[in-house]
């Protein structure tokens, strides 16, 4: 049976640190599309018992940035694909930190360098955590990370990436502002 907590426990921290993938869910205020995105690489950090951050890498859309800018609502989910079944969720209020923002250097320094692919760091204040059984989650084997995004970023100049953001990431699929420079 699942339990709810007001902060991230040591057991949750250890579990999340072992996972190769996590999921981020956000939604706009009115109608629109709920977004659920898988995230990989070494891109998630638990900053303290009620604060987390993840490295927001360039992608085909920018829903998370748009949604947290509009309303802040964000949920993170980690689930066990090996070992004991378990699902952990962090519910919070997030915001995007961009290059040039006062916190950028501090937040960006928490993660490894990824050439040219970093749009922002999403930082969230967590007000509720929970765990649940995960009995229906299948066993799956981790083989390796995918290198395509890093390889793509290595072939692009800063100007190329900025142009991509303007073309593909300026608004969400619902027309909300996202990566605005």
Give per-residue pLDDT as tens, 104-145. Answer: 999 999 999 876 689 999 999 999 999 999 999 999 999 999
Report residue 117 as tokens: 């692919």
pLDDT of residue 115: 64
Report residue 144 as tokens: 């390796």
Of 12, 37, 14, the residue nearest 4 (C-alpha): 12
SS3 readout for the chain? CCEEECCCCHHHHHHHHHCCCEEEEECCCCCCCCEEEEECCCCEEEEECCEEEEEEECCCCCHHHHHHHHCCEEEEEEECCCCCCCEEEEEEEEEEECCCCCCHHHHHCCCCCCCCCEEEEEEEEEEEEEEECCCCCCCCCCCCCCCHHHHHHHCCCHHHHHHHHHHHCCECCCCCECCCC
pLDDT of residue 180: 81
CATH 2.30.110.10 assigned to domain 3-168? The reply is: yes
Residues of the chain scoring pLDDT < 70: 1, 115-116, 181
pLDDT of residue 3: 94
Q: Would you kindly state where each structural domain of the chain is located, as residue ranges?
A: 3-168
pLDDT of residue 1: 62
Separation CA 86–CA 119 (nearest Å): 31
pLDDT of residue 116: 64
119 touches 165 (CB < 8 A): yes
- Measured on CA atoms in the order 63, 65, 69, 73, is the torsion positive or negative? positive
Separation CA 166–CA 35 (nearest Å): 20
Separation CA 168–CA 30 (nearest Å): 22
Separation CA 75–CA 128 (nearest Å): 10
pLDDT of residue 76: 98
């Amino acid at each position: 049976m699942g339990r709810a907590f007001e902060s991230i426990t040591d057991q949750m921290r250890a579990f999340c640190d072992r996972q190769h993938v996590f999921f981020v869910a956000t939604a706009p205020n009115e109608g629109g599309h709920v977004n659920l995105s898988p995230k990989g690489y070494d891109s998630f950090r638990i900053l303290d018992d009620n604060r987390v951050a993840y490295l927001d890498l360039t992608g085909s859309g920018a829903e998370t940035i748009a949604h947290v800018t509009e309303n802040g609502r964000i949920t993170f989910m980690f689930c066990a694909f090996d070992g004991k079944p378990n699902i952990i969720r962090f519910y919070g209020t997030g915001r995007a930190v961009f290059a040039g923002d006062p916190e950028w250097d501090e937040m960006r320094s928490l993660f490894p360098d990824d050439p040219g692919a970093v749009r922002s760091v999403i930082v969230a204040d967590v007000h509720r955590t929970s765990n649940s059984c995960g009995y229906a989650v299948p066993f799956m084997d981790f083989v390796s990370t995918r290198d395509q995004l890093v390889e793509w970023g290595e072939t692009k100049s800063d100007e190329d990436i900025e142009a991509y953001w303007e073309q593909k990431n300026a608004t969400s699929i619902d027309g909300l502002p996202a990566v605005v420079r």
